[in-house]
Structure 1
Amino acid sequence: MKPVLLVVDVQKGMDEPTWGIRNNIQAEEKMLELLNVWRKNELPIIHVQHVSQNPESPLHPSYPGFQLKTGFEPKEDEYFIRKKVNSCFIGTNLDNYLKNNGYQTLIVIGLTSNHCISSTVRMAGNLGYRTYVCSDATAAFETTSYDGVDLTADEVHRHALSSLHQEFAEVVTTNNVISMIESIKKNV
């Protein structure tokens, strides 16, 4: 089993204050920790960059926020895709790439847990991939619910991940994933 690390939308525009207050401020540190483990163990990594179609979005290609955050640039042998919608599977060749390479297990990290992470993980589960989401290597922003209730970033994050857990994926921590990789190495 070669688990694939799927790094979703870790772009400079996610630091714009217009998004509001975010939880898991340490998420990028955890993401980089996992990237380092994957690179050290020569495991497959897929980077995803969101190409917003909204010319006002910080993730639109005309803004500096479109760029990946420092440290998250793909290396030569790492696969890179761009997407225009929330799910990494829509309008990309992600599913074909995974199937053509025999990859069946995804470890999903990135931004944000209630948008692109959720959309991608739901599709991954529906497509039959064994999927894990790292709770401490993802994050969400505060929002106001459909009925006017203000939700904290922690509440949004917890709800998004709870909706995925044991239905589309297993929600784990960075340490859980690192232990899984160490266990795989011992058994090879």
Structure 2
Amino acid sequence: MTTLLIIDMQVGMTWPKAEVRNNHQAEDTIAKLLEDWRKRKAPVVHVRHISRTPNSPFWPGQPGVEFQPRFSPLTHEHVVEKNVPDAFINTGLERWLHARGESSIVLVGVSTNSSVENTARTAGTFVLAPGCASRHPSAINCS
């Protein structure tokens, strides 16, 4: 079965409202995919960025670190916390997938040119472009 891997759909990714970004429909696409995966009882993994920088909106305990409400994991869905752009580095994600015999993933989320790209490179998988978005590089601050 194919696993849906949702990258960094956190509240802090909505601050400030990104006027200079691509694919403003990414969130709707991700929500539809998540609904489909849940209906089929297929595996879903939610990835959350936890910053090592105290003033970051992704610092533990800050409201920005929480998942956006429509992407909140269900109790049986796996959550991975990462400190670097790649969801496979120091997280146990590869072990979790391997233990379940999962060899196929669909990758969506933000930011395309950071966490999504780095995770896709490690996974050696394809990215579902309509389910990804990125801000102009000068507007990205995911420390």
Q: TM-score scaled by structure 1?
A: 0.70
Q: Match of 1:31?
A: 30
Q: Which runs of 5+ in 2 are unaligned?
A: none
Aligned counterparts of 1:132 and 1:118: Cα–Cα separation in 2: 10
User: Structure 2: how far apart are the matches of 1:29 and 1:59?
Assistant: 23
**1:74 aligned partner, one-letter code:** P
**Partner residue of 1:46?**
45
Would you say 1:139 and 2:133 are equivalent positions? yes
1:89 aligned onto 2:77: no
Distance in 2 of aligned mates of 1:118 and 1:19: 19
Q: Equivalent residue of 1:30, what SS? A: helix
Structure 1: gaps of 5 or more residues: 126-130, 145-151, 154-188
CA separation in 1, counterparts of 2:5 and 2:94?
12
The higher-RCO structure (CA 8 Å, 6+ apart) is 2
- Cα distance 1:21–1:56, how it changes in 2: closer, same or farther (>3 A)? farther
87 and 121 in structure 1: CA distance in 2 versus 1, 3 angstrom threshold: same
* Matched position secondary structure for 1:17: coil
* Runs of 4+ displaced beyond 4 Å: none
Give the structure-2-normalised TM-score: 0.91
Matches within 5 A, 1:77-116: 77-116=76-115
CA distance in 2, matches of 1:133, 1:113: 9
Aligned counterpart, 2:10: 11
Structure 1 residues 39-93: Cα deviation after superposition (integer angstroms, max 9, x where no partner): 0011000011100111122222242111110111111211111111111011111
Between the two proteins, what is the percent identity of the paired residues? Answer: 35
Structure-2 residue corresponding to 1:167:
none
CA distance in 1, matches of 2:7, 2:46: 6
Report the RMSD for the aligned CA atoms in angstroms: 1.9
2:20 is paired with a residue of what secondary structure? coil
Cα distance in 2 for residues equivalent to 1:83 and 1:19: 23
Determine which structure has more spread, i.e. the larger CA radius of gyration: 1
- Output the CA distance in 2 between the equivalents of 1:10 and 1:29: 12
Between the two proteins, the alignment pairs up a number of residues equal to: 140
Deviations 1:16-46 (A, max 9, x none): 1287622111111100000000000110000
Higher helix content, 1 or 2: 1
Letter in 2 for 1:45: V
